Structure 1
Amino acid sequence: MTELATENPEEEQAGKPTSVSRITLSHIMTAVDTNLLGTVHGGVIMKLVDDAAGAVAGRHSGGPAVTASMDEMVFLEPVRIGDLVHVRAQVNWTGRSSMEVGVRVLAERWNESSPAQQVGSAYLVFAAVDEQGKPRRVPQVVPETEQDKRRYQEAQIRRTHRLARRRAIKELRERRSAEGLDGA
């Protein structure tokens, strides 16, 4: 297990409200963002999601944070050239050195006054790191609204499932290796 980097391991950081690190990143989609179907590449949207989530994680943790995993990236509707994409992100849950960031992706036509439509969502886990790349403590997130509290509880469920999945895969690989079934 990796030890957390901290000058005083007993020192507890004060919690931060959800709203302190919440951000919206907006970007107009152009022809260079599109695939052969004329819609925006999923990878372009994923990069915007990772950028926004990384900014939120760094802001919440007060320093560098790296992407540890991306869960449940869902594309609900295609994004097209000329769409103004808004990526909204916030910390949903925090552990000792990790944070789950929830991201909602909305799109609106740049030349219309219709409301933005949700086109995607994702959950990412970030680990706060120090100058040597070692995990460091993060302040606990303090949910402010009922919606924040729901997101916090749902994030705990996702974390439990992530850890159980990781443990089950590790046990399967160890068992197959011990039986000589996996050569690589």
Structure 2
Amino acid sequence: MNTRRVNTAAGVINAAQKTRQTAAGIAMVLESAGLLQSPESAAELVALQQDRDGFREQRNTVFKTNEELLKRVERSGLARLQAENEARTVARERDALRARVAELEAAQTAALTPHVPYTDSPHCQADGDPWPCPTATALAPTAASVENPWERAVAGLNALVDADVIFHVEPDGHISAPFSDEHIEWDLQTRRWALTHDDHDGGTDAR
């Protein structure tokens, strides 16, 4: 006799009697408590309950993992959408700025077109003011500061003077220096003045 099972059954019957259970009711209580089963059936029931609990725990773990994955995918999708929106915004602002710059450059060019110096007088052709005129100075200070060709040529010769280079200008325009192997002469191929260097064989090399 299994004293433990008997005492357990007696306790269950006593509790059922206090609630005025019928015989069938008492039997159901004993069945629910697993006291009408054989030890083998009771052990099988316990094993099934453990399997059930393990499955529930595994299922809950899978659900939790799936929820975390869904949240990650959602965050990744939101971050991608935000990046795409920001990229489109930047592209629109860039295009708008480029269009505005092109518009301003076109307006500047149109305003500056008539403001050029005379070839034979340091005055603006548009308003007669001394060159650079106020308009050219305001709209294109770099272009306005460029001297006319004669002034640039004078500046080049003065640069040689400032460097203490002794030179003289030949009748054909050739600029030579008696104490230097460098000189300036006209290049027939390029049709431009070129700085040349005398080599040791008596020829010249254009730089």
Larger Rg: 2
Tell me: higher relative CO, structure 1 or 2? Use CA pairs within 8 A at least 6 residues apart.
Answer: 1
- Does TM-score exceed 0.5, indicating one fold? no
Q: TM-score, normalised by structure 2?
A: 0.19
Higher strand proportion (structure 1 or 2)? 1
Q: Which has the higher helix share?
A: 2
- TM-score of the pair, normalised by structure 1: 0.21
